[in-house]
Amino acid sequence: MSATLRTYRHLLRAAQVAFHGDIPVLNAARQRIRDGFREKASISPSDPAIESALKHAEEVAQFLKTNVVQGKKEGDVYRLRIHKDIERGDNDTIKMPGGKTVRIDGRKCSDA
């Protein structure tokens, strides 16, 4: 199987995971994926631009699978659909560029 087809299928599967149960959004995502690959269909397999396009598609697939959480309002609360691939962590895992810390009014969160 070609790398392009493998990436295309991976992106479709990631959309299926991210938007499971939300048919209108899933259909829109599938259409956008198809359109995006059709736009790039004229790129030759030997063209160096194909690598960056496929890398971008793989990054989008990874983002969809690990960072998109859907919520549904039920009464006064929202129910989140968190699946096994969702990236989990706490605020300690959020890093600022250059090792900086977040400060609000001159204080860190841990100062409270």
Residue 58 lies in a domain: yes
Residue 41 Cα distances to 31, 54, 76, angstroms: 15, 12, 47
The answer to whether 96 and 102 have CB atoms below 8 angstroms apart is yes
Q: Which two tokens stand for residue 15?
A: 């959309």
Tell whether 39 is covered by a domain. Answer: yes
Identify the three-state secondary structure at position 3. helix
Of the pLDDT bands very low, low, confident and very high (cuts 50, 70, 90), residue 87 is confident
Closest CA to 68 of 58, 80, 77: 80
Residues 102-109 have a mean pLDDT of 62
pLDDT digits (tens, 9 = 90+) for 5-56: 999 999 999 999 999 989 999 999 999 999 999 999 888 888 888 999 999 9
9 lies in some domain? yes
pLDDT of residue 111: 60
Average pLDDT value for the chain: 85
Please indicate, yes or no, if residue 24 is contained in any of the structural domains: yes
pLDDT above 60 (res 112) = no
Is 40 domain-assigned?
Answer: yes
pLDDT of residue 58: 96
Contacts of 50 (CB under 8 A, 6+ apart): 4, 40, 43, 44
pLDDT band at 90 (very low <50, low <70, confident <90, very high): low
Name the residue range of residue 65's domain.
Answer: 3-82
**Does residue 103 form part of some domain?**
no
Within-domain flag for 106: no
Q: Cite the beta strand spans of the chain per DSSP E.
A: 70-74, 77-81
pLDDT of residue 106: 63
In a domain, residue 34? The reply is yes
How many domains does the chain fold into?
A: 1
